[in-house]
Amino acid sequence: MTAFNHKFHHTVLREYDIRGVIGDTLNPEDAFAIGRCFGSIIVREGGKKVAVGCDGRLSSPDLEPQLVAGLRACGLEVLRVGTCPTPMLYYAAYALGTDGAAMVTGSHNPPDYNGFKMMLGKKPFFGAQIQEIGRMAAEGDVVPVSTEGSDRHVDIADDYVTRMLQDYDGGERKLRVVWDPGNGSGAEITRKLAERLPGEHFVINGVIDGTFPNHHPDPTVMKNLEQLIEEVRKQEADLGIAFDGDADRIGVVDDEGHFLFGDQLLVVLARDVLKQHPGATIIADVKASQVLFDEVEKAGGKPLMWKTGHSLIKSKMAETKAPLAGEMSGHTFFADKWYGFDDAPYTAVRLLGIVARLPEKLSDVRKALPQLVNTPELRFDCPEERKFQVVQEVKDRLAAAGAKVQDVDGVRVLTEDGWWLLRASNTQAVLVARAEAKDEAGLERLKHDIAAQLQASGLAAPDFSGENTGH
């Protein structure tokens, strides 16, 4: 058998997934190497069967067969579920009883990107595990195989939709709903849900198109929601729902066309889940508003602030037995009736059930939440070798000054005005900042604090002008 070794571009092996620019930092040879190494890990864990899916990007049909070939070269049986949203592949791992799963997806990145997300057993595959793939490829540390594996196509789309609809609990009220899957790989599933859910449903950008002709598939960026907001108002809909490129993140617009931030959405979901699970832990990432943590407590839950990153959140959920978790980025995780992975279509089904049972409009729920002023997530360049060091320097100075700091992920500093956050991105050479206060004057003081700390570490402060939002 031919010796195997392979070297990846130094930028593609990331904290939560593998991702790069097609024809530049990522190519089909990489896909084969990923299959060969990830498959070897599955075999060494005693596994025999793996599920594979892909998103609707133009490069996915080139990468998916090579990934399958690499897995087959390890002697594995590969179940190919075809073009699908990432959460449908996660679902396949449970429904088909596989020992792992691998998804070809560029998520919400521009059209020239693609990548891979993986599960080992029923757990996220990330961090040091992804770096291990790089080592194995470089050293040729893969399982020898005397008999090549096999592959077959499996269609589970209708089964996935049927299983999601089992948990719809909206009663008799018929909603008007606008959906925008953003021409991403969740488009077909969106149409199937729209056909089978009660009420009136309007789907825009509902054809899978890897060029993303209408807007970039990231539902947390306001510009990408303009079409959805316009359609919600035109149809006088009860709400609008958007997905990212592989439908593991959700964006929600209320009946007035206002965006619900990830933490506001989590308040709505948590209140409902806590009726069935009083006293349960609800997890959110460090970027979430203090309003979320306060509202979870008011609803009888135990709020838990945790590190940003969908793989980290999933692991913490399993550890704490939390029925629900969410991130500002729109990743939402149900372990109540579901499987604990981030699934935007499933979150939509649960949300529609809640809205159909509400005595008031979704906009009324949003407006009743405490109104604070805050910055959006601010990202600014910092050299890779400096980013964690800068956060540590800030932490040390704050400790010396006796500041009140939560250090779950970076530093979240509590003051009389509110709080500010500084953390290093796990996936890019950037620092991330955010601040929230009771009023504009307080927010300005918090932004000044962030700028002062950055300057003390020799960095220019980000441009905060015009960055305030209210929620």
Average pLDDT (424-434) is: 88
Q: What is the reported pLDDT for 376?
A: 84
198 and 146 fall within a common domain: no
Do the Cβ atoms of 182 and 247 come closer than 8 Å? no
Q: Does residue 230 sit within a domain?
A: yes
Q: How many CB atoms lie within 10 A of CB 220?
A: 21
Give the pLDDT of residue 469: 61
Does residue 424 fall inside a structural domain?
A: yes
* Residue 145 confidence (pLDDT) above 90: no
The answer to whether residue 5 is domain-embedded is no
Query: Looking at the 3D structure of the chain, how many domains does it have?
Result: 3
1 within domain boundaries: no
Model pLDDT, residue 1: 46
Last residue of a domain, one of 368, 387, 417: 368
What percent of the chain clears pLDDT 70, i.e. is strictly above it? Answer: 98
What's the CATH number where 62 sits? 3.40.120.10
2 assigned to some structural domain: no
11 assigned to some structural domain: no
CA-based nearest residue to 358, from 89, 186, 169: 169
Q: How far apart are the C-alpha atoms of 274 and 279, rounded to whole Å?
A: 7
User: Is there a single domain that holds both residue 393 and residue 452?
Assistant: yes
Same-domain check for residues 297 and 348:
yes
Distance between CA atoms of residues 137 and 139, nearest Å: 6
**Does residue 237 sit in the same domain as residue 285?**
yes
Give the residue numbers spanning the domain of 189. 160-368
| Residues 286 and 304 reside in one and the same domain | yes
- Over the range 430-453, which residues count as b (16 or more CB within 10 Å of their CB) and which as e? bbbbbbbbeeeebbbbbbebbbeb
> Looking at the structure, do residues 193 and 336 belong to the same domain, yes or no?
yes
309-335 pLDDT tens trace: 999 999 999 999 999 999 999 999 999
Give yes or no: residues 418 and 337 share one domain.
Answer: no
Q: Do 255 and 383 lie in a common domain?
A: no
**Predicted local distance difference test score (pLDDT) of residue 2:** 59
Residues 105 and 228 grouped into a single domain: no
CA distance 18 to 32: 13
Hey, is 241 helix, strand or coil?
strand
| Residue 138 and residue 233 in one domain | no
User: Looking at the structure, do residues 166 and 32 belong to the same domain, yes or no?
Assistant: no
Count of H helices and E strands in the chain?
14, 23
- Token pair listed for 8: 């990846």
Q: Residue 447 is part of a domain; what is its CATH number?
A: 3.30.310.50
> Which residues are marked as active site?
107
- Model confidence at 109: pLDDT above 60: yes
Specify whether the CB–CB gap between 28 and 63 falls below 8 A: yes
Domain edge (last residue) among 345, 368, 391: 368
In a domain, 4, yes or no: no
Where is the domain boundary, 323, 347, 368? Answer: 368
**120 and 145 in a common domain:** yes
Structural domain includes residue 10 = no
